[in-house]
DNA sequence: CGGCACTCTTTCCGGTATGGAAAGCGACGA
DNA sequence: TCGTCGCTTTCCATACCGGAAAGAGTGCCG
């Protein structure tokens, strides 16, 4: 059992990013396009948010050229999962759950 | 059983306001000063956030002059509780809980 | 009666984040 | 070589945020 310390994380808190993290927390890996559709944002907006998550060290971006098509897959890093979990814990605390 | 529909609410989502709602959700009524101390914000900042919650119809502000001192007590309205609960439900959904 | 204190409110201000639109870019495929 | 696909980056206008300070309403004190 990890002693999960609730900790508010502004990077994770912003609506689009919270959703992105939530999605990634559930699936190990998801493609850029799938996330974009799930979150319902434009390419540019998703790209910008992903960049922020990447710079925070929360998301790993892997680009591969498969079947002659460019594919960008996203995944939470360990730090990303920790930050997300801690943030969710903080939300629970705040919400009094 | 109320069919609580998860619904993201930006007014509730902002950190300071999420905390305010969380506090009020637990106590029926809390005084301005107590909330200010709990949330750790300045008078002006709290006043501004409360105003937003009030304008959204989520918080009721009651001013009374008790013991020759001005007292402002805050309370979640029915709509406020509903919005908070729905938002929390949405957070749960996003967090995959 | 005038001034002061207590409690918020409102205004002013500089800095930051956000999203949409459009231009950019690198890798292919025709 | 040109056009397309899949993101990325830039440009821009808008919204929000918090701190500081001025305001306002209501009693109390001298």
Banded pLDDT at A91 (limits 50, 70, 90): very high
Banded pLDDT at B1 (limits 50, 70, 90): low
Q: B76 and B84 in contact (C-beta within 8 Å)?
A: yes
Compute the distance between CA of residue A48 and CA of residue A46 in angstroms, rounded to an integer.
5
- pLDDT given at position A58: 98
Tokens 């309205």 locate to B77
B21 contact partners, CB below 8 Å, separation of at least 6: B12, B53, B58, B76, B80, B83, B84
Could you read off the pLDDT of B33-54 as tens digits, one per residue? 999 999 999 999 999 999 999 9
By the 10 Å C-beta count (0-12 exposed, 13-18 middle, 19+ buried), A84 is classed as buried
- pLDDT given at position B4: 78
User: Two tokens at A87?
Assistant: 């943030």
Nearest to B25 among A15, A91, A96 (CB): A96
Task: Give nucleotides in strand D with any atom < 7 A to a protein C-beta.
Answer: 5-10, 16-22, 25-28
Q: A53 and A11 in contact (C-beta within 8 Å)?
A: yes
- Identify the helix (H) or strand (E) that includes residue A64: strand A59-66
How many degrees, rounded to 5, is the angle at CA B58 between CA B57 and CA B64? 85
- pLDDT given at position A5: 87
> Which chain A residues touch B76 with a CB distance below 8 Å?
none
| Residues paired with residue A60 on neighbouring β-strands, in sequence order | A75
Could you read off the pLDDT of A51-81 as tens digits, one per residue? 999 999 999 999 998 777 889 999 999 999 9
Residue A2 has pLDDT above 70, yes or no: no
Q: What is the arithmetic mean of pLDDT over A73-94?
A: 97
The answer to whether the pTM exceeds 0.85 is: yes
A14 phi, psi to nearest 5 deg:
-55, 130
- Which nucleotide in the DNA or RNA is closest to residue A32, CA to C1'? D7
Q: How many angstroms separate the CA of residue A68 from the nearest CA in chain B?
A: 34
Could you read off the pLDDT of B50-94 as tens digits, one per residue? 999 999 999 999 998 877 788 999 999 999 999 999 999 999 999
Tell me which residues of chain B have a C-beta less than 8 Å from any C-beta of chain A.
8, 10, 13, 15, 18-19, 22, 25-26, 84, 88, 91, 94-97
Asked if the Cβ of residue B68 lies within 7 A of any atom of strand D, the reply is yes
Q: B94 and A22 in contact (C-beta within 8 Å)?
A: yes
- Distance in Å, residue B73 CA to nucleotide C8 C1': 11
- Distance in Å, residue B28 CA to nucleotide C10 C1': 28
Asked if the Cβ of residue A2 lies within 7 A of any atom of strand C, the reply is no
- pLDDT given at position B2: 63
Find which of B16, B95, B96 to mutate to test the A interface (most A CBs within 10 Å of its CB).
Answer: B95
- pLDDT given at position B12: 98
- Where are the strands (E) in A1-97, listed by range? 30-31, 59-66, 69-76
């Amino acid at each position: 059992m990890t002693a999960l310390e609730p900790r508010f994380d502004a990077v994770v808190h912003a609506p689009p990013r919270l959703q992105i993290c939530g999605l990634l927390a559930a699936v190990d890996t998801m493609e850029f396009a799938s996330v974009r559709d799930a979150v319902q944002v434009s390419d540019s907006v998703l790209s910008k948010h992903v960049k922020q998550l990447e710079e925070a060290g929360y998301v790993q971006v892997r680009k591969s050229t498969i079947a002659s098509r460019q594919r960008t897959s996203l995944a939470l890093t360990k730090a990303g999962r920790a930050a997300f979990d801690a943030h969710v814990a903080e939300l629970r605390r705040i919400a009094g759950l």
